[in-house]
Structure 1
């Protein structure tokens, strides 16, 4: 066999080696992060739930998901250990000093801005329809515009 026929196999094996090596490094970093968890830190589970660590055991973690509500999770279920600032920003909505822009527009938490009225009991939504009139519709209004006349055909 010549080197030219073996070259694609060598490149393929090298690429597979590099990919498995980087994946193994990521797994080791995640395991180290989970092992360094301390009670009181904020975490995000792989399911997207934010909680506070109460106790750390060998394979499990006791999380406080709400005040007074505790749940036991596997350590592998912890997706990220968050810094205190990030955890408070996400969970409690606390902004870091200097990040709050006083000129930023306030977005209402209801649909009153979409109705064009300040009264929340009035719900008007423009669907792009023409207002109804008392005049009867004509044949030209009822006929679709992309249809050809009956005498015309598509053949040329």
Structure 2
């Protein structure tokens, strides 16, 4: 056999080797991250729940999800171990170690446009898009309803 016929097989085997090596490396990093968990660490589970580690066992982790709520999870279900600053920012909304308040980017663009005149609609001109109750319907709408014809009524009277 010539080298040209073996080349596709060699490339395929090389690609498979690189993919399995990358997957093993990611698994090892995840295992190292889970082994770094200590009581008091903030974590996010693979399901997206944020909690504080209460106790770490060999295969399980006891999490404190709130006052009086302790949950037992498998160690493999921990998706990320968070830093204290990141956990407090996400769970409690506490921003930490900010340089100055002037450097903050606002959540909305309303504070970026500082004009004297407001573009708000006066309360009298607002349109209520909420669902109305049956008692609130205008009388004209109630009178438009026609009684249903029964089978005995005929068109040719």
TM-score range, shorter chain: 0.5 to 0.7
Q: Report the CA distance between 1:35 and its aligned residue.
A: 1.5
Quote the offset at 1:68 in angstroms. Answer: 1.8
| 1:43 correspondence with 2:43 | yes
CA shift, 1:87, in A, is 0.5
Equivalent-residue separation in structure 2 for 1:106 and 1:25 (angstroms): 38
Measured after TM superposition, the shift of residue 22 of structure 1 is: 0.8
CA distance in 2, matches of 1:46, 1:123: 45
Q: Aligned-pair distance for 1:25?
A: 0.7
Higher helix share: 2
- Is there any run of 5+ residues in structure 1 with no aligned partner, and where? 108-115, 127-156
Q: How many residues align?
A: 118
Provide the aligned C-alpha RMSD in A: 2.7
**Could you say which residue in structure 2 is the equivalent of 1:136?**
none
Which position in structure 2 is the counterpart of 1:10? Answer: 10
Q: For residues 74 and 98 of structure 1, do their structure 2 counterparts lie closer, same or farther at Cα, with a shift above 3 Å needed?
A: same
TM-score by length of 2: 0.66
- Unaligned runs of at least 5 residues, structure 2: 109-119, 130-157
1:29 aligns with 29
Secondary structure of 2:13's match?
A: helix
Deviations for 1:108-127, whole angstroms, at most 9, x for unmatched residues? xxxxxxxx4475xx86389x
